[in-house]
Amino acid sequence: MKIILSILFIFIVSTSSLQADNKLDLVNLYKELHANPELSFKEERTSKKLANILKNLGLEVTENFGGYGVVALLKNGEGKTIMLRADMDGLPVKELTGAPYASKTKSFNQVGDEVFTMHACGHDIHMTSLIGTVINLLEKKDKWQGTLMINLQPAEEVSGGARNMIKEGIFEKFPRPDFNLAFHVSADLPAGKVGYVPGWAMANVDSMDITIKGVGGHGAYPHTTKDPIVMASQLINNLQTIVSREIAPIEAAVVTVGSIHGGTKHNVIPSEVRLQLTLRSYTDEVRNQTISTIRRMARGLAEANGLSKESYPEITLKDEYTPALFNNPELTEKVRTSFESALGKENVLKLSPVMGGEDFGMYGRVEPIIPTALFWLGAVNKKVYDTSLRENIGLPSLHSAYFLPDPEADYINRCKSNECGDYRFISKLAIRF
């Protein structure tokens, strides 16, 4: 059986059978991880299992780093240091895939509610692939030299994991990487395809709470009130002009009001309304402009309705900020070239940036800057993908209760046999950087 998860992470991707003496079935590992997800900051069992595997493979392993993070080193002589990162946390989603190994797990979230939990974003694939990478590199130690840093990161989904790893000193307490690499499964690409995005690839992500204050009263006598529902409606409409009239047309931004709560009864005008927003951008300049414009609009709305400063809207920018991911163009180009050599140009696709967020970008924002790049790995079974195109059926997205990569599919079904698995890219990176 072909073990499609035993890949050289995102350097040279190969399809190979796992050797019996490895005593590790990667497909079964994937299924076990998929069936037993843990929420952000609660990845205790997952991290312990992966740490034990890495120890048994002979790596230097540090556990409970930045929470439940795991840092492992594979040293193989002089050379560059590469950090490979995989995230470990699941999502509060009830799985509906119907797979034999589907998650039935329940966990307690950060506020104490018991919720179903699922690996709906491919982190199970990421972890298993990273273990497969280590196995492959151990078997090919004569083909490369340098230091491999494995970063099994907690809490990507709430944007705290990378921040904690950096704050804990991952780049001070371990060899500082010469470059950082990661991949993310794609719910839009068929297995066998790899996607790359030079430059800005994923967005700044901000969450904002706005409480609009007013003067409540009887619904029959609105003239005696300052209606916060009307003010909230005005603000929501005004916010839509930020992207169309405040931000330069050649820049990108998103302002979405995802939640509005106010009032308790048909004939009662409430004293406040609460809004929840998500903000997206690429550059820090656009991010700052968007935030300041929202503050200005909210303040102006209160003034226009005759409210005192004590009754101005309360605006809270949440701590779970995720910075935009910038793929170093030079590093991206070098990896793209190696992909094309191994997989064929037709299987390596230039993709557009997305407004989703990924805290992997934080590792590229430290000083001095470390070249960083993230790539997309096709995760959709080829037959399922072809059927979706032929019958115009939508595919389950990331975070969907139906998202399920096929771990036994031939992910790299067009790999050139004479080049797959030769791991030349490791030594090429050491020479070129």
- pLDDT tier, 406 (very low <50, low <70, confident <90, very high otherwise): confident
Contact indicator for 156, 181 with CB cutoff of 8 Å: no
Which structure tokens are listed for 369? 């800057």
Residues 23-41, mean pLDDT to the nearest whole number: 92
β-pairing verdict for 194-196 and 348-350: parallel
DSSP label of 410: -
Query: How many angstroms separate the CA atoms of 231 and 307, rounded?
Result: 11
Task: Say whether pLDDT at 13 is over 80.
Answer: no
- Do 196 and 348 contact (CB within 8 A), yes or no? yes
| Other beta carbons within 10 Å of 299 | 15
Higher-pLDDT residue of 265 and 19 is 265
| Listed residue (183, 213, 225) closest to 201, CA to CA | 183
pLDDT digits (tens, 9 = 90+) for 107-146: 999 889 999 999 999 999 999 989 988 988 898 888 888 9
- pLDDT tens for residues 140-174? 888 888 999 999 999 999 989 999 999 999 999 99
What structural domains does the chain harbor? 20-202+324-432 (3.40.630.10), 204-317 (3.30.70.360)
Q: Tell me, what's the pLDDT at 409?
A: 58
Checking if the pLDDT of 241 tops 70, the result is yes
Q: What pLDDT score was predicted for residue 417?
A: 37
Q: What is the pLDDT of residues 329-358, one digit of tens each?
A: 999 999 899 888 888 999 999 999 999 999
Q: Which helix (H) or strand (E) holds 261?
A: strand 253-262
How many angstroms separate the CA atoms of 56 and 71, rounded? 14
At 20 the pLDDT is 34
Q: What is the pTM of this model?
A: 0.88
Mean pLDDT score of the chain, rounded to an integer? 89
CA angle 194, 196, 198 (to 5 degrees): 170
Are 359 and 159 in contact, with CB atoms under 8 Å apart?
Answer: yes
Nearest to 27 by CA among 5, 46, 47: 5
Q: Please give the C-alpha separations between residue 159 and each of 164, 263, 321, in angstroms, as whole numbers.
A: 9, 32, 7
The pLDDT tens digits of the residues spanning 350-388 come to 999 999 999 999 999 999 999 999 999 998 988 999 999
What pLDDT is recorded for position 101?
Answer: 97
- Tens of pLDDT, residue by residue over 57-103, are 999 999 999 999 999 999 999 999 999 999 999 999 999 999 999 99
Terminal CA-CA length for the chain: 37
Helix axes 424-432, 329-343, angle to 10 degrees: 150
